[in-house]
């Protein structure tokens, strides 16, 4: 009996061991995730030894010139196993940039692939491509992980060396009008002058500094406006100069509120208070180098004298001209009014551009007449959509569902 019980106990124990083994194999295993990594990166001088502390520090400079010369700056990168605090050696790192390039002089790569050293660091040179400028962000990736580092740099416009041409930038307006106080043609102009920039350039269209530029105006006045710091109205007040001699530098800009650009000069062309209307020619010449001259053509116009309106089924437009039929200056306010027959305008007032102001009109009636009026002031401040003009030039045009393209005009003026 003991023998039978013993054998039964042995078999029971063996069966239990098998069940435990099967259960152990069936149970889910806990797999430890790969250790996370941390990555840091900064812009530094290439002569600076790249270490963890350097990679984690602030950039050595905030900006560099995008001149494309031999790279004196580079990216310092450090990768660490955050679970152990130890550097990662032979770690594959990819770096990408948007504006600047990486590698030695003569290359133009916007991505680089490198491996960390035994101390967990890696370096790659960084420079401009010679033309592109603006804010740039380098993004580093530790391959196969989520470790990412970024660092930002500003590339300032590069300067050229040997002038080959001068370029005059297209101004924001091509028509100007003088503010007049005489008894017959009193007028407060919304555009009494226009900002203009010129740039002496090399063969790669990079601005060249320290060049002497002569600017002459036929039919207008001139005044220097470095960096467009003054408003046009203030700059033109009392100006009597028809010629300027300026020197190009890297602190002026090509447009108001724009980035400082090498090789540029900034000035204002002001309407001549001794004339009412006529063509304007601005001659720009580099006297410190032999390059072709440049000419800018503008137009001086008079105060509003006539208005015509048109409607094409959706767009209600008004064209405003002076007494000589020339389009008035940009910024002349035009009021639009629909009859009380149901409908809507995208805006009750709009200002002219190249003599034309327009709004979108939706009219419920089959036929109706819309009124348009251009306003100006003879004293005080210039008329605008916010400041009603004391003098009005009015017109009207048929609008509505049945109105095809129709035009009507009126040269009448009213106080």
pLDDT of residue 367: 81
- 148 and 96 Cβ atoms separated by less than 8 Å: no
Task: For residue 108, name the pLDDT band (cuts at 50, 70, 90).
Answer: low
Closest by Cα among 409, 329, 322 to 373: 409
How many residues in total does the chain contain? 415
Helix (H, G, I), strand (E, B) or coil at 18: helix
pLDDT of residue 272: 93
pLDDT surpasses 50 at 19: no
pLDDT of residue 401: 67
- 399 and 368 Cβ atoms separated by less than 8 Å: yes
Q: How far apart are CA 341 and CA 400, in angstroms?
A: 10
Task: For residue 17, name the pLDDT band (cuts at 50, 70, 90).
Answer: very low
Neighbours of 311 (CB within 10 A): 24
Task: For residue 408, name the pLDDT band (cuts at 50, 70, 90).
Answer: low
pLDDT surpasses 60 at 393: yes
Q: Of 263 and 83, which is predicted with more confidence?
A: 263
Reported as a single tens digit per residue, the pLDDT across 322-370 is 999 999 999 999 999 988 777 899 999 999 999 999 999 988 777 888 9
pLDDT surpasses 50 at 8: no
Residue ranges and CATH numbers for the domains of the chain are: 37-156 (2.60.40.10), 165-300 (2.60.40.10), 306-414 (2.60.40)
Closest by Cα among 23, 67, 76 to 45: 76
Task: For residue 104, name the pLDDT band (cuts at 50, 70, 90).
Answer: low
pLDDT of residue 139: 94
- Of 15-19, 264-268, 359-363, 401-405, minimum mean pLDDT range: 15-19
Closest by Cα among 71, 56, 86, 82 to 149: 56
- Characterize the bridge pairing of strands 63-65 and 148-156: parallel
For range 14-26, the mean pLDDT: 42
pLDDT surpasses 50 at 145: yes
pLDDT of residue 128: 85
pLDDT surpasses 60 at 93: yes
For range 196-225, the mean pLDDT: 96
Q: How far apart are CA 158 and CA 63, in angstroms?
A: 12
Q: Quick one: tokens of 56?
A: 């984690």
- The average confidence (pLDDT) of the chain is 86
Task: For residue 144, name the pLDDT band (cuts at 50, 70, 90).
Answer: confident
For range 252-271, the mean pLDDT: 95
Reported as a single tens digit per residue, the pLDDT across 42-75 is 999 989 999 999 999 999 999 888 887 777 899 9
pLDDT surpasses 80 at 14: no
7 sits in which H/E element? helix 2-26
pLDDT of residue 49: 95
pLDDT surpasses 80 at 26: no
- 311 and 398 Cβ atoms separated by less than 8 Å: yes
Q: How far apart are CA 236 and CA 192, in angstroms?
A: 7
- 73 and 127 Cβ atoms separated by less than 8 Å: yes
Q: How far apart are CA 333 and CA 389, in angstroms?
A: 8
Reported as a single tens digit per residue, the pLDDT across 249-258 is 999 999 999 9
Percentage of the chain with pLDDT > 70? 87
Task: For residue 107, name the pLDDT band (cuts at 50, 70, 90).
Answer: low
Q: Quick one: tokens of 281?
A: 């020619």
pLDDT surpasses 70 at 411: no
pLDDT of residue 25: 41
Q: Of 285 and 64, which is predicted with more confidence?
A: 285
Task: For residue 140, name the pLDDT band (cuts at 50, 70, 90).
Answer: very high
For range 27-40, the mean pLDDT: 58
pLDDT surpasses 70 at 226: yes
Q: Of 294 and 100, which is predicted with more confidence?
A: 294
Q: How far is CA 353 from the centre of its chain?
A: 21
CA pseudo-torsion sign 101, 104, 107, 111: negative
Strands of the sheet containing 294-300, edge to edge, are 175-176, 294-300, 278-286, 212-218, 243-247
Q: Quick one: tokens of 268?
A: 């204002």
- Of 55-59, 109-113, 145-149, minimum mean pLDDT range: 109-113
List, in sequence order, the alpha helices (H) in 117-243.
Answer: 232-236
Task: For residue 3, name the pLDDT band (cuts at 50, 70, 90).
Answer: very low
């Amino acid at each position: 009996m003991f023998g039978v019980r013993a054998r039964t106990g042995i078999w029971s124990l063996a069966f239990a061991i098998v069940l435990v083994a099967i259960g152990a194999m069936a149970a889910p295993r806990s797999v430890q995730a790969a250790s996370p990594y941390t990555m840091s990166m900064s812009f530094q001088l290439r002569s600076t030894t790249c270490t963890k502390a350097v990679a984690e520090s602030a950039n050595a400079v905030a900006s560099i010139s995008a001149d494309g010369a031999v790279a004196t700056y580079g990216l310092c990168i450090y990768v660490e196993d955050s679970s152990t605090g130890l550097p990662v050696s032979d770690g594959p790192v990819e770096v990408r940039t948007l504006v600047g390039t990486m590698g030695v002089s003569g290359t133009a790569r916007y991505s680089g692939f490198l491996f960390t050293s035994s101390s967990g660091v890696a370096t790659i040179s960084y420079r401009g491509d010679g033309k592109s400028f603006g804010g740039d962000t380098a993004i580093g990736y530790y391959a196969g992980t989520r470790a990412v580092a970024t660092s930002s740099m500003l590339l300032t416009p590069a300067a050229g060396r040997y002038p080959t041409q001068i370029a005059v930038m297209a101004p924001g307006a091509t028509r100007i009008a003088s503010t007049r106080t005489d008894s017959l043609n009193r007028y407060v102009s919304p555009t009494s002058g226009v900002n203009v920039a010129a740039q002496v350039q090399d063969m790669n269209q990079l601005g060249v500094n320290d060049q002497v530029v002569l600017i002459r105006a036929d039919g207008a006045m001139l005044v220097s406006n470095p960096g467009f710091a003054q408003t046009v109205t203030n700059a033109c007040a009392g100006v009597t100069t028809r010629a300027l001699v300026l020197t190009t530098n890297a602190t002026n800009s090509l447009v108001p509120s724009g980035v400082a650009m090498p090789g540029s000069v900034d000035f204002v062309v002001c309407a001549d208070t001794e004339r009412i209307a006529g063509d304007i020619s601005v001659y720009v010449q580099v006297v410190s180098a032999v390059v072709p001259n440049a000419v800018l053509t503008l137009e001086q116009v008079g105060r509003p004298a006539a208005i015509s309106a048109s409607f094409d089924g959706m767009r209600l437009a008004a064209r405003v001209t002076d007494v000589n039929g020339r389009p008035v200056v940009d910024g002349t306010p035009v009021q639009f009014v629909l009859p009380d027959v149901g409908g809507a305008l995208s805006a009750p007032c709009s200002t002219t551009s190249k003599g034309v102001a327009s709004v979108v009109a939706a009219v419920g009636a089959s036929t109706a007449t819309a009124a348009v009026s251009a306003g100006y002031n003879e004293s005080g401040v210039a008329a605008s959509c916010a400041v009603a003009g004391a003098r009005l030039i009015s017109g009207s045009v048929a609008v509505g569902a049945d109105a095809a393209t129709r035009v009507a005009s009126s040269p009448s003026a009213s106080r």
